[in-house]
Structure formats: C-alpha cells, structure tokens
Structure 1
Amino acid sequence: EVQVRAVCDVDRHHYRANPWGQGPALGREPARKMVESFYAQRAARERYQGCLVFEDYRALCQREDIDAVVVATPDHWHYHQVMAALAHGKDVYCEKPVTHTFMEGKILYREVKRRKAIFQTGSQQRSTANFHRAVLLLRNGHVGRLKRVEVGLPKGYTEPGASAEISPVPSNLNYDLWSGPAPLLPYMRARHHRFWRGHRAYGGGNIMDWIGHHNDIAHWGAGMDASGPEEVEAIGWTQSSTDVYDTPVDYEIRCVYPGGVDWVIASQLPMGTRWIGEEGWVAVDRGKLTASDERWTRLDYDPGPVVIPASTDHIDNFIQGIKSRRTCVASAETAHRSITPGHLGFASHALGRRLRFDARTERVLDDSQAHALLDKTYRKPWKR
C-alpha cells in the first residue's frame, strides 16, 4: 500500500546516537539502511536496494515517482520544504509547528487549499481517544457557555544541553544547507540537532514546540479551528541565563477569544488543556481525562448527538486522506490557527504591549510595527 522510496538529510551520519541519546545513529545513510533492512525482511531477501538517498530536498521533490513527503526538519525549514513539495504535486505530512513565522503559515495553508493537496500536521493528539472524547464533551455542551480556557505547556530551555563551545562543523554535515534560510551562525552542538529549538533563528522554544499540541486541542474543543484570538498580551517572560538560547523559559500569553472567552497559555499551568464553562469543566492531557462530573469520563457515558471526525492512527489518517482526497484531522489551516497565539505572543513580548488581532483578515489591528514582526527576512539566496 505504501513504500518508503527515499530519505533526505543534510547529515550523512549524526555525530552521536539519535537525538534522544538512545538507539541507533541517524542521518541519511543509517536511515537508508534501516529502510532497506525493513523491506528485505518483509520480502524474505538478503538484500533490498530500493531506497534513494538525497542531501538536498529540492532534488527529492522533483522525483515523479514520489507521491508524498514527510517534513520532520527544524522549524526554520518547514515553509520552504512544504512549498517545494506542493509545487511538485506532492501531498505533505509536516511536523508542528507548521511554520516558523505567522506569515509563512498564512501563505502555506492557503497554498495547500489552492492546490487541493492532502496535508496532515504532526499534532497527533487529534488521533488519540482521550482527546477526542474531551472534545466531544465540549462540542455537546456539557460545560455550558465557555468562560475560560487554560493551556499548560513546558518551561523553555535553560542550560545548554551539550557543548556550548564554538567548534568546527562535523565533516558529515552540510552546515550551510542545514542553516538554509536562517543566519549562518558559528557552529556549536548546544544549539544544533536536538537542541536547535532553544534558538529563535531555528525554532520557538518549548512554547512553539508544544502550542501545536495542547492549544490545538483547545481550539478543537472550543470550535475555533478557523478562528483565533481578538487580543493577545505576553506577560512575565523570562530568559535563559545563557546566551546560547534566546527563547523564553517561563512565559504566559493572555488572550481574549470571540465571545469574551479568557484564554491563557502558560508554562506555569499544569500540562494539558482545561475548558471552564458556566456549568462545569473538562481537562485533558496525554493519558488522562478529568471533569467536574466524573460520569463524563466513563467509557460507557454517551457524550451526546454531536459527532466530530475520528481518527485512531494519525499516520494512517494521512494515508487514507491521500487515497480518498478527504481532509485529514490536522489540516494546514487548523495547525496555523492553533499556533497563531504563540506568534502573536512573541510580537507582544518584543514590543511590550497588548495586541489586537482580526482573525478573519489575519492582521494585527492598528499596529504596523507588530504586524511586521510576524514575518522575517531570509539569508540570501533563499527567498519566498
């Protein structure tokens, strides 16, 4: 049904074991061997040589024998790689956050719609039973009129996770291509591979890593998949004591959503999503669903007549979407909308003021300086 046809990585072989410190080494050569070994075992052969290897994603996207791609690169690369894949008629599975900047996301999701491409974001909680059930409770009105939403995310990067010494670029890494549209900064292990998220040139810290999970679910439950905040203000952001990372450690983003709903996204809150209404509350995190009425959490409890699309396997939902041409559970627009408060939060923090936002036009109101901060310039020769 599906075959892995190619792998692409600017790193021939990582300088260490996989980014989490366990298991086999990664990079394009180990990945190729992993794929070929899998298919050789399935075919009961000693050897299988069907996996192509690329260093440059542009060459991979030009292949006519590839139908879909998975983009699992640092955030600063998502926009360019997804747009290249779309331009060559590919369907795309892209990790969250879907883009590094707000303007990239706005352009990207509209391009997905224009091309009628199938797109799935790696917000896999939408394919997990307890999150789906929590959303059913919300959509069926169990909490009554929604008053407040609380989204808890992890604290950010504090101390360097590896050596912070500037060092020679490993010979197995094409560092210029790894940097791509981002500034070509001096190489150090503490802000590359697993640790790149802590530096704003490449990512948005844990706030942007996790907002596409728990705020995505918050939007889903509140019926805000095509909407967004009306007001956003960054409060109490703290920074790492090291200059290796420049994304927030502690942070709070206070929002007001349509209907006057108070909406707080913060590192000080318990991990997960909590919706509070006039008649009760529902809270959900990975592996745990709680509510003001314990009966709502029971598997034999009928949440009501309102139904929402269900998926039990996020990857399979993407594959079935390719075959049927039906929209996946985590579309490009929902992914962009769910991380918009994070983008606006960075702009609010930089300017030290509350922002007003029109979710319909997707513009910051009466603040051209803030709106300009939702975009970025690229290192030459990269361009939009």
Structure 2
Amino acid sequence: MPRQKNATNRRHFLKVSTLAATSLGLPTIVPASALGLDGHTAPSNRLTVGCIGTGGKGRHNAGEFIKLPDCQVIAICDVDANHMQTAKTKIDKAYDNTDCSTHADFRELANHDGLDVICVSTPDHWHALASIAALDGGKDVYCEKPLANSVKEGRAICQAAARNDRILQTGSHERSGDGRRMACELVRNGRIGELRSIRINLPTTDTHHMQVKSWTEPQPDMPVPEYLDWDRWLGHTPLVPYTDKRCHFWWRFVLAYGGGEMTDRGAHVIDLAQLAAGRDDTTPVEYLAKGSPNASGLFDAYMDYVFVNIYDDGLKMIGSTQGPRGVKFEGDEGWIFIHVHAQKVEASDPRILESKIGKNGIHLGRSPGHHRNFIDCVKSRQDPVATGEIGHRTGTICHLNNIAMKLGRPIRWDPVNEVIINDSEANTLLGPQMRDPWHL
C-alpha cells in the first residue's frame, strides 16, 4: 500500500501570497520562479527541509539538498551556536535571502508544521532520539550512517518509521555509486563464481587515527565554551566534564557517542558487503572479534582489530584494520575489490568488470545520487536505496563486533528476534542506559 504524502504549508504558498498581495491593495505579480517557469521549481512544489546537526557532515548534507531544485532548506538546529551560524550563512547565501530559521532544540523542527523532511547529522548518540521525534512528527527522515549508536536504538528508529508510514533513508551514500552498484551486481550474478568469502578492510592509519593513538594521557577538564550547550550535547549519555577532545569530530572514538572506525567507515564498507551478498534482510549469526582500545581512557573505541562474522549458510566475512579501505568479494572463479572513498573497482580479471548482465539477470538499478534518491522517494512513496531496515542491519553487524571485542568472547546472534543467544551480559549491551529526561 503506498505511503501517505505529507500535507504541509508549502502547498499553500501561491494562495497565501496572492491573498496577502490583494489585501494590501498590491497588484498580483508573481515571478516566473514562483510559477515554476524558466526552469525553476515553484515554491509550492518544493519539499521543505530542516537539518538537525550543522557540523561538518551536517553542512555537507545541507549543501546536497541545496543543490536540488525541488527542495529548500528552511530551518536548522544545533547545540553549537557557532556551527549553526556558519550553516545559516551558507544556506542564506545559497538562496539569496535570510529566511533560514535557527533552533537550539531539535523538537522544534520535529514539530514544525512547515517542514516535509528532516536530515539528522548529529553525533551518533543523538541519531535515534532526533530521528524518532522527527518521524513521530510526521516528517520523512534522512539519517546519517550509522543509523544508530546501538542495536536497540536502530530498531526503535525503524519502528517509528513503520508506525508513521514515513520514508527513512540511511546516509550510506556509497550504496548509491554507479561503480559500486555495478560491482555488487556482478557478484550477485556469479561473475566471480560462487561467493566463498568477503574481506573487509578498515585501515586506521589516517592522520586522525594516528592522532587518537598518540593521545595516551588523560584529557584535561575544560570550561564549557559559551557557544555550546554541553548538557544537551551529551543528551542521554552520562553527565561528564567538558573537554574538547570528547566533543566535535573526536566523539566518534568514544563508545558512548560513536563506535570508532567500525561504525564510521565500517557502516559504508559492510553495507556494500551486505548488498553484494544479497543479505540486506539479515545479518551474520556468529561474531568473533578481538581488538585493542586506545590507552588514554577517554578514547575507548577499538583502534586495531580483527573479526570473523559467519552467516547462517557458512559464508564468512573476515575483517581487519589492514589494507586499502574497501571490500573484497572472493569467489571460486575470481574476485572483485571495491575501494571505498576512492572511486575505484578492481577484479582478478579485467574482463569481469566488462561483463554485461542479461535481461533475466539480477539488476540492482542505479541511483541518481543518495540525496536525490531520497527526495524522489519522498515524492513517490517508494523505498529508497538505503532504507532504515537496511541501515539497521548494517549497523547491527558493526555494533555486534564491538560487543564481541568488549566482552572478549564470541557471540551468537538471532537476527529474527534480535537477541544474543544464551548470554544475558551481552544482551545488556544492545542498548544504552539513558539519562533522564531522555528515553526511547
């Protein structure tokens, strides 16, 4: 059954504008852009976008929506006033106006009657609460990857999307790349023979990884900057003193807020593994993982690790923090390697990549771009390329590997009931203990 479309104020733009002009005794002159002429999309046909989180990724996502002529960013939210002002300046400049409103509380956007779509680009620990509020507020949601910072939070987001009949796109944008979809198609159609194993490479040798590894001393407590609402930044996590290395960007290496490289780039690389293996509706059932966190005490995410995940049919996904970033599919007749963030695909035989898929083969289709695909699906009410369910399962794999590393023992997973089998301690790690007043 098709999803219901959002009824919003934007659809009344021309009517309201005309009435306002008439009431003031002004001539009713509507510019071509307002009528959708000269290649413009009329405001009455544009989807309105609100952005929660305006840091680096938030500004990037806002920029992607700005590029689309049939939507307009009209509201933003952040607990960092500096980030928010920088984003507002960028957005206002793009639209040549000063209309973009600013908000310190994400719930104002979730309940905003004039918004169709909300983009969530907060640190990971805020993904669930912000997305659920937006979905419950009747908004379609584009949520950055990983979908959530825990298994239970990811499931709660998906439940919110289902009960509100909303479109939910996970920001796993690698899935929208033509070359990646082509490579996954080749694997699905047996061009490397039967798929025997998958290798995940998540190197932690970038400059920022090496910086984290070098910070072995405890980080000092600092005064909270005037422009930052620290209590709200922490949200449902424990109330702790401010230090700059706990906050912007570096939060991803603190498990209360992110999952380290496993959920950062892993959410891209493992997502492609799921797509090529045809496992978007499930996950591996066995998790063996060993890793070491940083020695500082603040950065407790695992920086160097190995893992083996086994699907119920015996297919193995083997990962480590070695090698070029990407995913290798090993078959009994060859291999394909997708370089993630490098726009490159390799194969054991170049002819594999030139192979054509017949009309009766498995076709994954192509995406016009991740943000474009999302907006198209908001209009059509069809599923996007990275639904919440897809993002949730990819995230689940990442979280379970982190749990196995934390416990120092293998775990077995029931992907239907989403519980760790015969391990009560491990099950307590599937979701966070939330600080009042926040809860799922």
TM-score (norm 2): 0.79
Q: Which residue of 1 aligns with 2:306?
A: 252
Contact 1:161 1:190 survives alignment (8 Å): no
Give 3-state SS (helix, strand or coil) of 1:4's partner.
strand
Q: 1:163-187 CA deviation, whole Å, 9 max, x = no partner? A: 9331100001111111111112211
The answer to whether 1:139 aligns with 2:188 is yes
The answer to whether 1:8 aligns with 2:63 is no
Q: Which residue of 2 aligns with 1:83?
A: 132
Q: Which residue of 2 aligns with 1:334?
A: 390
Q: Which residue of 1 aligns with 2:430?
A: 374
**1:64-213 residue pairs with structure 2 within 5 A?**
64-155=113-204, 157-160=212-215, 164-213=219-268
Contact 1:154 1:210 survives alignment (8 Å): no
Q: Which residue of 1 aligns with 2:275?
A: 220
User: Which letter does structure 2 place at the counterpart of 1:150?
Assistant: R
In 2: Cα distance, 1:60 partner to 1:306 partner: 40
2:296 is matched with which residue: 242, 262, 265?
A: 242
Give 3-state SS (helix, strand or coil) of 1:100's partner.
coil
Q: Which residue of 1 aligns with 2:333?
A: 279
CA apart distance, 1:261: 0.7
In 2: Cα distance, 1:162 partner to 1:309 partner: 50
Contact 1:163 1:189 survives alignment (8 Å): no
Report the structure, 1 or 2, having the larger helix content.
Answer: 2
Contact 2:217 2:295 survives alignment (8 Å): no
In 2: Cα distance, 1:256 partner to 1:270 partner: 22
Larger radius of gyration: 2
Distance 1:117 1:152, change over 3 A: same
In 1: Cα distance, 2:409 partner to 2:249 partner: 33
In 2: Cα distance, 1:162 partner to 1:78 partner: 30
Q: Which residue of 2 aligns with 1:22?
A: none
Give 3-state SS (helix, strand or coil) of 1:116's partner.
coil
CA apart distance, 1:342: 1.8
In 2: Cα distance, 1:197 partner to 1:356 partner: 26
TM-score (norm 1): 0.90
Give 3-state SS (helix, strand or coil) of 2:99's partner.
coil
| Structure 1: gaps (5+ residues) | 14-26, 41-47
Contact 2:148 2:395 survives alignment (8 Å): no
In 1: Cα distance, 2:378 partner to 2:397 partner: 30
Contact 1:231 1:355 survives alignment (8 Å): yes
Kindly tell me the number of residue pairs found equivalent between the two proteins. Answer: 361
In 2: Cα distance, 1:70 partner to 1:218 partner: 25
CA apart distance, 1:144: 2.1
The answer to whether 1:261 aligns with 2:310 is no
CA apart distance, 1:7: 0.9
Once superposed, what is the RMSD of the aligned Cα atoms?
1.7
Deviates more, 1:161-170 or 1:281-290: 161-170
Distance 1:309 1:362, change over 3 A: farther
Deviates more, 1:344-353 or 1:118-127: 344-353
Contact 1:163 1:190 survives alignment (8 Å): no
Moved over 4 A (4+): 160-163
Q: Which residue of 2 aligns with 1:312?
A: 368
Deviates more, 1:314-323 or 1:266-275: 266-275
In 2: Cα distance, 1:163 partner to 1:322 partner: 46
Point out which structure has higher relative CO (alpha carbons under 8 A, 6+ apart): 1
Q: Which residue of 2 aligns with 1:290?
A: 346
Contact 2:151 2:431 survives alignment (8 Å): yes
User: Which letter does structure 1 place at the counterpart of 2:142?
Assistant: Y
